[in-house]
Structure 1
């Protein structure tokens, strides 16, 4: 199983780890299903009061959908529908309102934002880098930008989405723009996220979950409307898969860090 779950019943903290380090923790269709099962299961696990989500290894938190897996998902011909295997990989999409802290080391890009966008806050190691490659390869960044627009200023989200692989946001810049709430030394993000989650888990769970729900209700209407438009924008704006593959093969991922 490429999604690993460890629970410390003493602290009340569970750690969910994307466990494909050799593939930069890219998400397969099976992993997407497993994540949904994990999040829904936590709703019934009273011993779990806060959760940390992270990626195995130090090279990447997650680089989004595994391209081979994406090719296996049949798509309807209508431009008004799309079968997105990542649409329900996050906790909020699975009706989980226990607090989630994301711990990021290395790259976090593309579909990783489905998870980061549904975490309460993000802790990152100094070497973390955030970017969105969609436009570089002829794909619309819709779901990702909607998620990130809840956490970053409009201009920062727009720049990241439109610059594609030409630019990556450093952990320090992510902290300055509000995407990241704490920057640690490289390799220290998970420990810091665990500490924060343990503090939250020590408080009365009803008050904590109510606070999480209140925070999300402030943006939920706009977020839901924006996500409803995303499938149509993707189906209308994406290049055919063969052209995407050509661009992926041809383009070098030279970039500058900011």
Structure 2
């Protein structure tokens, strides 16, 4: 069911039906928060942080509503996301995870057009610094589901403004020294504070939210984009889309 809702969200993005994309992302987020993984409760400790995908899709829902001009719905989703992320600190009690949840709080403030995003990113950065002594392997922690989910909405917005390419890299998001976990992970919040609001503003100006990047192929002779004529393919959700503009590809 979760995958169905996410696939519907991606298909709606491809059709530029942003209200429908927001609705589908909302349903995907709620469903994943209710059942983050088979046999797991959202209220239990979880070293992978599977609930992060639910938070991710609520951020994406708010972004889709913003692009659609449905600012009130985006704000409601942002308020909801802030509350859920804060509540999840009762389950994901590891200091590094709690800092990531505060990073999510700041993301929801940006996506939902809420005040205090800069201060929230500052709070997340401070939380990463405080968690440093508890983090034994910052690189491994940053590849868990929770942390990847917190990075993906930013990457999704950015790729839509950069010809569909990977516009935010691992090196962009993280500090240079994983042996300094406070700064290595805290750089995520610092980078987002600098870039996420402006990227969202540019996406709103363009009136476009790209589909997430999935499996890709360049110069694929079997497909053509009817919008921009590209032959670079992005398989994501259950859709076959143009890597460049997220339009459904045509087989040839």
Normalised TM-score (structure 1): 0.30
Q: Please state which structure has a larger fraction of its residues in helix.
A: 2
